[in-house]
Structure 1
Amino acid sequence: MENRNENYVILVDEKDNPLGTMEKIEAHEKAKLHRAFSVFIYNSKNELMLQQRALTKYHTPGLWTNTCCSHQRLEESNIEAGKRRLHEEMGFSTELKETISFIYKAPFENGLTEHEFDYILVGEYQNDPLPNPDEVHDWKWMSLDDIENDINKNPNLYTEWFKIIFEKHKSEMVKS
């Protein structure tokens, strides 16, 4: 059951009520609404830790995005899922706080579509991460103003979900 759990997403309705599970790739092929989370880690200078997705990822390889993101497993809270994936992708742990949730839909050139009920989780960390090279190609700290300017100049360098979150929910994703 553990393997099934890792490769499946939780399908939900527009109020985040679970409807069952589906294999992750199939859910992205069929644009099915499913539960997800996006983690935003800040340092004491209020800079956001960005990651550049590994060049071998099945969608959006090499694009810059928030610190990490993924899908909850069955019976896993949003915070538990965020902490698990933060450690798997970026190699560290820290406390996370759930802020807002929203629905977005972003099609990709390869025919897959992210259609997610996404929870924004925020935390703080001061050190360098130890990224998993299977997940992360590179990382950096950037101020929100610098990110906004760079997205405006180079939108093709960022993931669609990050641009959506940044544009529509910038005030909710900052650390408190």
Structure 2
Amino acid sequence: MSRESHLVELVDSGGGAVGSATVDAAHRAPGLLHRAFSVVLVDKDGRFLLQQRAAVKTRFALRWANACCGHPTPGEKVTDAAQRRLAEELGVRTVPLHEVGVYVYQAADPSSGRVEFEYDHVLVGSASDISDFSVDPDEVAALEWIAGDELASRLSQSPDLYAPWLAGVVSAWRGSTA
């Protein structure tokens, strides 16, 4: 079953559930506001794990983003969905995650015409070593650890290399460490 046929939970502007739609329908212009999550993994030196999205992704392919993103199914706990996707994308099992905020954004992918309109729960966990990861090449093209200040600089210098949600995710992460 294609990931595009999976169901996502539609939400109102306050995050209350209002229905469901397929991933495909939720990401067609102008987009339907739906629940999502973005996982930030930080190593013992405080570096942030970047993931370059695979070339086959239907939205923002080959752009750099946070460690893992996804959508809980309707009624699924966000942390459970995030754990599932960490295992599927990075081979990471059972990393304790805590929510540091919610970031709502809408962005159109100029390459595919698809739209992200997400009520994005930002979750943070600790990871120590990139060699612990076993990436799915259909999800991930590359990984890189980066210091927060360097990431902020790169985001401002070359925003088109990064997923449009990354700046908001980084802001929520940095706000939680202040």
- The residue aligned with 1:97 is 98
Q: Residue deviations 1:82-133, cap 9 Å, x none?
A: 1111111111121111111131111221322111111000000112211111
How has the CA–CA distance of structure 1 residues 163 and 68 changed in structure 2, closer, same or farther, with 3 Å as cutoff?
same
Distance 1:143 1:13, change over 3 A: same
Q: How many residues align?
A: 173
Does the CA contact (< 8 Å) of 1:50 and 1:64 recur in 2? yes
Q: Distance in 1 between matches of 2:107 and 2:50?
A: 20
> Is the contact between residue 48 and residue 146 of structure 2 (CA under 8 Å) also seen in structure 1?
yes
Report the TM-score, using the length of structure 1 for normalisation: 0.90
- 1:9 matched to 2:13? The reply is no
1: distance between equivalents of 2:3 and 2:143?
30
Structure 2: gaps spanning 5 or more residues:
none
The one-letter amino acid paired with 1:27 is A
Counterparts in 2 of 1:53 and 1:173: CA distance versus 1, 3 Å? farther
Say which SS state the counterpart of residue 175 (structure 2) adopts. Answer: coil
> How far apart are the structure 2 equivalents of 1:81 and 1:99?
16
- Indicate conservation of the 8 Å contact 2:122/2:172, yes or no: no
Tell me the residue number matched to 1:162. 166
In 2, the alpha carbon distance for the partners of 1:147 and 1:56 equals 24
Q: 2:116 is aligned with what amino acid?
A: E
Corresponding position of 1:141? 145
CA contact under 8 A between 1:5 and 1:74: conserved in structure 2?
Answer: no
Is residue 40–residue 173 contact of structure 1 (8 Å, CA) maintained in 2? no
Q: Cα distance, 1:4 vs. partner?
A: 8.9
Give SS of 1:29's match. coil
Which residue in the other structure is 1:107 paired with?
Answer: 108
In the TM superposition, residue 165 of structure 1 has moved relative to its aligned partner by 2.9
Moved more, 67-76 or 42-51: 67-76
Q: How does 1:48-67 map to 2 (within 5 A)?
A: 48-67=48-67
1:5–1:73 contact (8 Å) kept in structure 2? no
Contact 2:7 2:20 in 1 (8 A): yes
Moved over 4 A (4+): 2-6
**What CA distance in whole angstroms lies between the structure 1 residues aligned with 2:124 and 2:173?**
12
1:13-50 deviation line (CA, Å, top 9, x unaligned):
01111111111111111411000000000000000111
Structure 1: how far apart are the matches of 2:57 and 2:147?
Answer: 26
| Residues 6 and 75 of structure 1, relative CA distance in 2, 3 Å threshold | farther
Q: CA RMSD in A?
A: 2.0
1:86 is the counterpart of 2:86? yes
Separation in 2, partners of 1:103, 1:25: 19
